[in-house]
Structure 1
Amino acid sequence: MDTIWGPALDAEVAYRQEVVRAAVRGSDLGWRWRRHRRR
């Protein structure tokens, strides 16, 4: 863990989270499922 792994991992995690968020946000099923489960 020096200087490349740190930022690289952070960027990968952020990119993955963004992709998942966009997919869930663009998907009505995901939004509805999440809303129902939150109740």
Structure 2
Amino acid sequence: MIWLFFFPTIGSLCQFCSFLLVLYRQVYDACMDSLVHHAF
């Protein structure tokens, strides 16, 4: 059952997903800001 060690728990998986979501939001906001500044 050593392979179970390599599988992330549901909690850490949720944390990782939420972290990715926050990271995506920040990058998206930054891109939108630069686009708006360059467009106008």
Would you call these one fold, judging by a TM-score over 0.5?
yes
TM-score (norm 2): 0.63
Give the TM-score of the pair, scaled to structure 1: 0.64
Q: Extract structure 1 runs of 4+ deviating beyond 3 A.
A: none
5+ unaligned residues in a row in structure 1: which ranges?
Answer: 33-39
Determine which structure has greater relative contact order: mean sequence separation of CA pairs < 8 Å that are 6+ residues apart, divided by chain length: 1
Q: Which runs of 5+ in 2 are unaligned?
A: 1-7
Indicate the structure (1 or 2) with the bigger Cα radius of gyration.
2
Please, what is the CA RMSD of the aligned residues? 2.2
